[in-house]
Chain A
Amino acid sequence: MPFSPPDGLVVVVKRDCPTCEMVVPVLRELAVQPVPLTVYVQDDPTFPEGLTAVSDTTLEASYHLNIEIVPTLLRVAGGQETVRVEGWNKENWRALTAVADLGETLPDHRPGCGSKSVEPGMPEKLAVRFGDAQIASRRVEVPPLLDEIEFCYEQGWSDGLPVVPPTEERVYRMLQGTTRDPQAVLGLVPPNKVPLTVEKVAINAVLAGCKPEYMPVVLTAVSAALRDEFCMHGILATTYFSSPVVIVNGPVARQIGMNSGVNVLGQGNRANATIGRALQLVIRNVGGGRPGEIDRAVLGTPGKYTFCFAENEADSPWEPLAVSRGVAPGQSAVTLFAGDGVHAVVDQLSRTPESLARSFAATLKTVAHEKLALASEVLLVVSPEHGRTFRQAGWSRQRLLDDLHQLLLRPGSELVRGANGIAEGLPEQFAGETAVPKFPPNGMHIVHAGGPAGMFSAVIGGWVATGSKGTQTVTEVLALDK
Chain B
Amino acid sequence: MTTLLDPTAELRSIKREKLPRPASLDGLTVGLLDISKARGSIFLDQLETHLAGQGVAVRRYRKPTFARVAPAALRQQIVQDCDAVIEALAD
Contacts and interface: CB of A to CB of B under 8 A. Distances in A.
B19 interface: no
Contact of A470 (B5, B6, B67): B67
A139 B5 contact: yes
B9 A167 contact: no
A286 B67 contact: no
A203 B5 contact: yes
Interface string A143-156: 11000100110000
B67 A469 contact: yes
B5 A135 contact: yes
Interface residues of A, number: 39
Interface string A273-308: 000000001000111100000000000000000000
A233 B69 contact: yes
Interface string B5-37: 111111101000000000000000000000010
A379 interface: no
Nearest to A281: B7
A203 B6 contact: yes
Interface in B25-58: 36
B10 A138 contact: yes
A204 interface: yes
A411 to B, nearest CB: 22
Contacts of B7: 137, 157, 166, 200, 203-204, 207, 281, 285-286
B5 A140 contact: yes
Contacts of B3: 139-142, 167-168
B1 to A, nearest CB: 6
Nearest to A146: B2
Nearest to B38: A427
Contacts of A144: 1
A137 B6 contact: yes
Interface in A186-204: 189, 192, 194, 200, 203-204
A238 B5 CA distance: 30
A286 B4 contact: no
A140 B6 contact: yes
Nearest to A286: B9
What's the dominant secondary structure at chain A's contact region?
mixed
A168 B2 CA distance: 9
Given A166-B7, A192-B9, A281-B7, A231 B68 contact: yes
Which one of A140, A204, A288, A470 has the highest number of Cβ atoms from chain B below 10 Å of its Cβ?
A140
Given A233-B68, A234-B68, A470-B67, A194 B1 contact: no
A157 B8 contact: yes
A109 B21 CA distance: 89
A140 B2 CA distance: 8
A165 interface: yes
Which one of B5, B36, B65 has the highest number of Cβ atoms from chain A below 10 Å of its Cβ?
B5
A204 B8 CA distance: 9
B75 to A, nearest CB: 14
15 contacts: A137-B7, A137-B10, A139-B4, A148-B4, A157-B8, A167-B2, A167-B3, A168-B5, A200-B9, A207-B7, A234-B68, A286-B8, A288-B8, A288-B13, A469-B65
